[in-house]
A and B are shown apart, each in its own frame.
Chain A
Amino acid sequence: MNLIEKILARASAKKTVEPNEIVEARIDVAMVHDLTGPLTVKAFREIGSKRVWDPDKIVVILDHLVPADSVTTAELHKTLRNFVKEQKIGHFYDVGRGGVCHQVMPEEGFVRPGEVVVGADSHTCEYGALGAFATGIGSTEMAAVFVKGSLWFRVPKVIKINAEGKFKEYVSAKDLILKIISTLGSGGATYKGIEFTGKTVEDMSIDGRLTMCNMVIEAGAKAGIIDPDEKTIDYVKERWKGLLNQVKSDPNAAYEKQIQMDVADLSPQVACPSSVDNVKPASELGNIEIDQAFIGTCTNGRMEDLRVAARILRGKKIGRGVRAIVIPASRNIYLESLREGLIETFVQAGAAVGNPNCGPCLGGHMGILAAGEVCVSTSNRNFTGRMGSKEARVYLASPATVAASAIEGRIVDPRSSVGN
């Protein structure tokens, strides 16, 4: 069996499972945030249940509109504060305590290899980077999990992507995953799992692996997954003191198909409006002038991302007519960035630095676009209207590409601009 099959078999108390089989799996951790949590609470009440199945297995994180930007949002936050108090849910991350849910979850030890995690957010598929089976579900389904602690899954067919080779300077996990999404197409992995293997993935930091698995949903995938290795175990052990279930894919495991990638010649990639599979090399875009550059989110707001952005921005100024927004993905990343002087670099360069939260990624607040504006962003979606006006355009790229573009005022290959 492959890793996803092994995890689902264990969670549903079966010896083996096969693709397309429907199983009822025990849930190890369930997460909601401020935009999907209130609907979950509403559904939970309507079902008529009084207590959640296990308050220790539920994590509630305020991250989409933090601090509250309106009375309506404040009411949503209040709903969740009251719910965690009533249900004695200890794992609650209020304003200033946590950050973006998909950074807080791995960082605080809620994601462990071999376990099943569900989140009421589509980018929950990211946690497979630590060898867990994790997927996004809706609010009503989450209410069902809150009631019974289990959920049905169709065992997915799995595509194995084997990446070999070393990245060139300023080329990173984001460029690789954009290239993969353009290869598969935006619906190319619908209902399926994607397992990443190969030397490139082995060499990749946990930050990079999280970026890769975070975006598999943009090809429609149910989950991304990477066999846990020493790096994974070290990362998780620092954050979780319980027993670890170190399960891996069998060498002879079956896959729907296998794709080989060589990253040695990969260049910085950009997903152009308005679909994530519309990917071109940054150097072939022509002259795309930008109004806004955004560095942050669950995809690229981690230490490695902020470090490379700061390296490019150090001693430079954000281009005339461009506004740059930098949002560290969590409180811990914010603190570490302060210690390393990255925040000072960003502010000196002329960027606005925000408190850890989702920011403008989904058009909520902190950098919404007007009609006709162009933003280059490290986030994960460039759909029509995603970051504000439906006449705005969003280009997705790596932190290095966004930082270099912020200086130049147009989208550039960071390798052609750095040092000039």
Chain B
Amino acid sequence: MIIQGKAMKLGDNIDTDVILPGKYLVLTDPREIAKHALEGLDPSFPDKAKDGVVLVCGHNFGCGSSREHAPLALKYSGVRCIVGKSFARIFYRNSMNVGLAVIECNGAYATVNEGDEMKIDVEQGGVEDVTKDLKFKATPVPEFMIELILEGGLIPYLRKKVASEKN
């Protein structure tokens, strides 16, 4: 699975309250949630992301709450993949579960510039800055998580399983 998009850079410790403020947790429609993605940092983010972006972030991205609204907001606003130095663990799992690929990669952040064309090979764990023609090593994603991402997330993955058990 190859994901491409322009890089958008964010710093360290981007928390879930900034990604999706608590007052929007009453929303359940991902498209409505997405209108407020990263509102705590930049209210114009959904507009900037709408054509599809790859977030390139620092350490501890998604720290804080277990709110799945956070990765949903990013995914439905146009984020195709997040390349981060490190992720908060609940956010990492939530993202994969809703079908948003997150890749741990220490090297990319210092080199990649805003707007660079990025290319991510999820299965191989490859991160590439196409604009600069540079490749970075990423932490391999566990095999069953790759399966999840290829299926589009935990819901389609389990739906298939439940349906096959019924037959």
Q: Which residues of A contact B26 (CB under 8 A)?
A: 35, 65, 70, 72-73, 76
Q: Give bound CA distance, A120 to B90, whole Å.
A: 10
Q: Decide: A122 and B94 in contact? CB cutoff 8 A.
A: no
- Most chain A CB neighbours (cut-off 10 Å) among B22, B28, B159: B22
Q: Decide: B159 and A46 in contact? CB cutoff 8 A.
A: yes
Which of B40, B59, B64, B65 meets A390, CB within 8 Å? B40
Q: Given that A364-B23, A383-B64 are contacting pairs, would A144 and B158 also be in contact in the complex, using a CB cutoff of 8 Å? A: yes
Q: Decide: A38 and B18 in contact? CB cutoff 8 A.
A: no
Q: Which residues of A contact B89 (CB under 8 A)?
A: 190-191, 220, 222
Number of chain B residues whose Cβ lies closer than 8 Å to a Cβ of chain A: 40
Q: Decide: B67 and A386 in contact? CB cutoff 8 A.
A: no
A381: Cβ under 8 A from any B Cβ: yes
Q: Given that A138-B90, A385-B21 are contacting pairs, would A220 and B60 also be in contact in the complex, using a CB cutoff of 8 Å? A: yes
Contact with B along A166-189 (1 / 0, CB 8 A): 000000000000000000001100
Q: Decide: A141 and B86 in contact? CB cutoff 8 A.
A: no
Q: Give bound CA distance, A232 to B69, whole Å.
A: 35
**Residues A126-147 near B (CB distance < 8 A):** 136-141, 143-144, 147
Q: Give bound CA distance, A324 to B52, whole Å.
A: 45
Which of B64, B65, B144, B158 meets A47, CB within 8 Å? B158
Contact with B along A52-80 (1 / 0, CB 8 A): 00000000000011000010110010000
Q: Decide: A136 and B66 in contact? CB cutoff 8 A.
A: yes
A242: Cβ under 8 A from any B Cβ: no
Number of chain A residues whose Cβ lies closer than 8 Å to a Cβ of chain B: 49
B97: Cβ under 8 A from any A Cβ: yes
A115: Cβ under 8 A from any B Cβ: no
Q: Decide: A121 and B88 in contact? CB cutoff 8 A.
A: no
Q: Decide: B163 and A139 in contact? CB cutoff 8 A.
A: no
Closest A residue to B72 by beta carbon equals: A39
A353: Cβ under 8 A from any B Cβ: no
Q: Given that A72-B26, A138-B94 are contacting pairs, would A48 and B162 also be in contact in the complex, using a CB cutoff of 8 Å? A: yes
Q: Decide: A386 and B97 in contact? CB cutoff 8 A.
A: no
Q: Decide: A122 and B90 in contact? CB cutoff 8 A.
A: yes
Q: Which residues of B contact A190 (CB under 8 A)?
A: 60, 86-89
- Most chain A CB neighbours (cut-off 10 Å) among B17, B94, B162: B17
Min distance, Cβ A121 to any Cβ of chain B, angstroms: 6
Closest B residue to A361 by beta carbon equals: B22
Q: Decide: B66 and A362 in contact? CB cutoff 8 A.
A: no
Min distance, Cβ B134 to any Cβ of chain A, angstroms: 26
Q: Which residues of A contact B28 (CB under 8 A)?
A: 38-39, 42, 76
B15: Cβ under 8 A from any A Cβ: yes
Q: Decide: A144 and B154 in contact? CB cutoff 8 A.
A: yes
Contact with A along B62-100 (1 / 0, CB 8 A): 011111110000000000000000111110011001100
Contact surface of A with B, Cβ cutoff 8 Å: 22, 35-36, 38-39, 42-43, 46-49, 64-65, 70, 72-73, 76, 119-122, 124, 136-141, 143-144, 147, 152, 186-187, 190-191, 217, 220, 222, 275, 362-364, 381, 383-386, 390
